[in-house]
Structure 1
Amino acid sequence: MEPPIQAVPATDDREVAMVWYEALREQGIEGIVAKRGGARYPSGRGWTKIRHADTVDAVVVGFTGPRRRVRRLALMVGDEGGPVRLSARLDPVLAARVSAVLVGVETGLVVEVLAGSGRHGTLTVTRMR
C-alpha cells in the first residue's frame, strides 16, 4: 500500500513562517523547512531544516576517540540523572579545546548543549562551561 499524500502549509512570507515556527512547537512539530521557491521536491538540494532546540547543561562522563583528539562526548543531561547519551561529532575547534581540558580533568567537566527536539534528540555541544 502506498503511503498517503499529505498536504502541508507553505508560505513565502517570512513573518508567517516565524509565527508557524513558534506556534506549532506546542503541538510537537519539530521545526520548519525552508527552500527556494523553485526548488523541486525530489532533489532535496538547497532545503534547510530549522529545528527547535534548547540549550541545557550536560556533565561529561566519557568520550570517544583518543583523549588528545576527542570525537564525541558521552553526556548526562541536566539534573535528571537519566541515561547517558552520545553527542554529535564535535566541531574540530571545540574538540581541540575539550581535549586540552580532558587531559587534566578526570570528572566534573560541564558543557552546554543544544538539545534537539526532533525524533533523534541530537545533542550538539556548543561550548564548555
Structure 2
Amino acid sequence: MIKKTLAAALVTLLPVVAAADSHGMEGDAAAGEKVFKKCKACHQVGEGAENKTGPVLNGVVGRVIGSHEGFKYSGTLADMGAAGDTWTVENLDHFLEKPKDFAKGTKMAFAGLKKEDDRKNVIAYLATFAE
C-alpha cells in the first residue's frame, strides 16, 4: 500500500519537475503554490481558469508579454509584447519583485514579492501550468 502511494505521488510530481526543469527553475513549486495565494485575488491558473482583474497565467513562462487572448493589457505590457519580449524566468523574477519598476505604467497594483525564494517558487509553480 505504501509503495503504491509513493509511486502515485512520484507519477504526479514528474510533470511538475519536468516543467520546472524545462524553464531553468530552481524553485519549489509546492512552496510556490502557497505564495500564489497572494495572486489569486486577480489571477487564475489551472483547468477552467478565466481572466479576472489580471490575465490567466497558464503558460505564462515563456509566453510573449501582454499576449494572453481576451485580456486588455496596459499599453506598457502590450508594447513589450509587440517588441517580442517574453516572460522569461528573469523577466518574471524582475516583474514579480516590483511590477511598476519592471513595466512603468502597468495596471498591476501589486507591490511585489521581496523575497527571492518566494519569486523563484511562484515561477516554478506557474511553470507547471501549460497554456
* TM-score past 0.5 threshold: no
Q: Which has the higher contact order (CA 8 A, sep 6+)?
A: 2
Q: What is the TM-score with the length of structure 1 in the denominator?
A: 0.23
Q: Name the one with the larger strand percent.
A: 1
Calculate the TM-score normalised by the size of structure 2. Answer: 0.23
Higher-Rg structure is: 1
